[in-house]
Chain A
Amino acid sequence: MAINKSNKSKFIYTILAWGISGLIFFPILWTLLTSFKTEAEAISASPSLFMFDWTLENYRDVLARSPYFDHFWNSVIISLGSSLLGLLIAIPAAWSMAFVQNKRTKNLLMWMLSTKMLPPVGVLIPIYMLFRDFDLLDTKIGLVIVMTLINLPIMVWMLYTYFREIPNEILEASRMDGANIIDEIFHVLLPIALPGIASTLLLNVILAWNEAFWSLILTAANAAPLTAFIASYSSPEGLFYAKLSAASAMAIVPILILGWFSQKQLVRGLSFGAVK
């Protein structure tokens, strides 16, 4: 009886989980399908899901019209660069917050996190002017700096949660063994926290890869990442849904593959500290 009941609820939850996943995945699937349609089919009033004339024309057009690989490399450099630079700052910050705590540490963390609640448009003018004055407009280094700053609070928070799970006694043991702060961080803390650092890095690569607001405003031709490349398909002549979908597919596929292979790591990283 009890087994039947638990099987029944398991079945309902499974259906529910598939339903929600389907709902989330549907726009991505629709984009992928549209990228293989002709422009006429893409805007047809009665669109079909699979029964249409599949074509690679959109991909050919997009590759012919735009330097896709330039944008791709810009995305790689900006997302990876900002995540690595962020780690360089976030690791010592999270270390001090996790292991050299005082009564204001929690407030400091909350304040850092609260900056994520600020609408980016609120600091648009000052950042734009700073970029203009420092000649950072349309440069990859400029975008690396901005992405680092945007994602730093999340990186510090994630690493802090990870570091808090490491028993202080292990670090104390290393101090008794003669390690200085640098040895302690490099030889003891970082190797133990490697899974946490990897998931922090992954999540931030994804966040930076998908970021569009600052990429669109601060870049033009030289440093434009894939998000700006997608946006370039919404032109004054109109929206070309099929080409836009092809460009979107080409932009999201690399990160989708990365996310797929690292999903275990990501889920563990994001739920770390929540469940013991």
Chain B
Amino acid sequence: MRNETQVKKSGFEPKILAFCCNWCSYAGADLAGTSRIQYAPNVRVIRVMCSGRIDPTFILRAFQVGVDGVLILGCHPGDCHYIDGNYKTARRIHMLKKMLSQLGIEDDRLRLDWVSAAEGKRFASIINDMTERIRALGPFVR
């Protein structure tokens, strides 16, 4: 866990937007909560039915309105409730990362990962890791 003095020193608390799919990752986030696993409070979760629902526009819009990092969490490959939604997401995010690099947005600010409904711990560690990476990068300034 982060300690208080560290936060005061940098004075910057990252704002991270996490899109979680309804069937795996959101349930994983729920499990982290019901298991009382502590994780960084820097994340705002938006539930979507499938990671395939996440239009790249949402991600660009998030950056435009001042989010410091965007996290996309979906079912593990092969586990998608809608069969291939997460495959499409994987290709989109891969392509979007190249586009963001052309727009001067650091690679670490966008992350795609897989969290199943049984992986509460994994959810918490991804949030913590992402928070520290964004903290190191500093705020997203347009």
A, B: real partners: no
Query: B residues near A, CB below 8 A?
Result: none
Query: A residues near B, CB below 8 A?
Result: none
